[in-house]
Structure 1
Amino acid sequence: MQAESVIAEPTPSRPKRRDPFEAPDVSGNLRRSSVRGASFMSFSRIAGIGLRFLSTGILARLVTQDSFGLITMTAVISGFLTIFTDVGLTQATIQREQINHRQISTLFWINVALGLLLAAIFAASAPLVAQFYHRSELLTIIPILALSFVFGSLGLQHTALLTRNQRYPLLAGVEVFSSLAGVVVAVWMAKQGGKEMGYWPLVALAVVPAFAKSAAAWIALRWVPSLPSRGNGVKSMVKFGGDVLGFNIMNYFSRQADTMLISKYCGAIPGTFYDKAYNLLLMPVGQINGPLGSVSIPALSRLQKEPDRFRRYFLNSIQLVCSLSLPVISAITLFADEVVRVWLGESWAASATLFRLLAAAALIGGISNPAGWVLISLGMTKRYRWLGFANSVVIVTAFVIGLLLGPKEPGQIGSSQGVATAYSVVMILTFIPYWAWALKDTPVKLRSVLVTMLPPAISCLPAAAVAWWMKGLAAAHANPWLWTIAAMASFGIVYAATLLFGFKKLDFFRRIASEFRSR
Structure 2
Amino acid sequence: MSFYKKLLRNLIVVGGYKYSSTLILFFISMITARLLTPEDFGIVAIVTVITGFFLIFKDNGLSMAVIRSDYKYSFWNGTSNLLIGLSILVGAIICLLAYPVAIFYEDDRLINIVLFIGLNTSLSNFSLVSSALLRKNLQFATIGKIEMAASIFTAVCVIALALMDFKYWSLLIPMMIGNILKIFLYFKFSGFIPSIVNKKVIIVSFRMNMSILKGVTVFNVVNYWSRNFDNLLIGKIYGTSSLGIYSKAYGLLQLPLNLIRGVFSSVLFPSMKEKINIDGNWKKEYMNILKILSFVPVPLVFIFILFPTELITFVYGNQWTQVGEILPYFGILIFLQVLQTTVGHMVLLNGKDKEFMIWGLLSATLIVLSVLYGSSISMLAIAQYYTLCYITLVLPINMIYVFIMTLNINRSIVLKFWLPKIFFALILWIFLYKNIDYRFTILILILLTIHLIIDSFSLLKVMINIISKKHKVFNR
- How high is the TM-score relative to the length of structure 2? 0.88
- The Cα of 1:308 is off from its aligned counterpart by 6.5
What residue is the counterpart of 2:57 in the other structure? 84
Change over 3 Å in CA distance of 1:308–1:450 after alignment to 2: farther
**1:423 aligned onto 2:386:** yes
* Uncovered stretches (5+) of structure 1, i.e. residues with no partner: 1-27, 407-414, 466-470, 473-486
**1:36 aligned onto 2:1:** no
- The Cα of 1:445 is off from its aligned counterpart by 2.7
Change over 3 Å in CA distance of 1:305–1:41 after alignment to 2: closer
Match of 1:190 among 151, 156, 162: 162
1:280-308 deviations in Å (ceiling 9; x for gaps): 02311322232111111112223346777
What residue is the counterpart of 1:434 in the other structure? 398
Change over 3 Å in CA distance of 1:428–1:147 after alignment to 2: same
Match of 1:448 among 382, 399, 413: 413
- The answer as to whether partners of 2:58 and 2:125 remain within 8 angstroms in 1 is yes
What residue is the counterpart of 2:47 in the other structure? 74
- The answer as to whether partners of 1:319 and 1:453 remain within 8 angstroms in 2 is no
Amino acid at match of 1:267: G
Flag the structure with higher helix content.
2
CA distance in 2 between counterparts of 1:77 and 1:512 reads 46
- The answer as to whether partners of 1:182 and 1:206 remain within 8 angstroms in 2 is yes
Tell which deviates more after alignment, 450-459 or 252-261.
450-459
CA distance in 1 between counterparts of 2:390 and 2:296 reads 20
- The answer as to whether partners of 1:360 and 1:427 remain within 8 angstroms in 2 is no
Paired residues for 1:322-361 under 5 Å: 322-361=294-333
Matched pairs, number:
460
**1:212 aligned onto 2:157:** no
* Uncovered stretches (5+) of structure 2, i.e. residues with no partner: 432-437
Larger Rg: 1
Change over 3 Å in CA distance of 1:384–1:79 after alignment to 2: same
- How high is the TM-score relative to the length of structure 1? 0.81
What residue is the counterpart of 2:32 in the other structure? 59
- The Cα of 1:54 is off from its aligned counterpart by 1.0
Amino acid at match of 1:368: Q
CA distance in 2 between counterparts of 1:47 and 1:502 reads 27
- The Cα of 1:501 is off from its aligned counterpart by 11
- The Cα of 1:453 is off from its aligned counterpart by 5.7
Paired residues for 1:332-481 under 5 Å: 332-404=304-376, 406=377, 415-430=378-393, 431-439=395-403, 440-452=405-417
Change over 3 Å in CA distance of 1:345–1:509 after alignment to 2: same
Change over 3 Å in CA distance of 1:172–1:248 after alignment to 2: same
1:197-218 deviations in Å (ceiling 9; x for gaps): 2211011243222222222211
CA distance in 1 between counterparts of 2:424 and 2:23 reads 27
CA distance in 2 between counterparts of 1:45 and 1:131 reads 39
Cα-Cα RMSD: 3.2
- The Cα of 1:239 is off from its aligned counterpart by 2.6
What residue is the counterpart of 1:224 in the other structure? 193
- The Cα of 1:452 is off from its aligned counterpart by 4.1
CA distance in 2 between counterparts of 1:144 and 1:341 reads 32
- The Cα of 1:450 is off from its aligned counterpart by 4.4
CA distance in 2 between counterparts of 1:94 and 1:292 reads 15
Match of 1:132 among 97, 101, 104: 104
Change over 3 Å in CA distance of 1:140–1:34 after alignment to 2: same
CA distance in 2 between counterparts of 1:202 and 1:36 reads 34
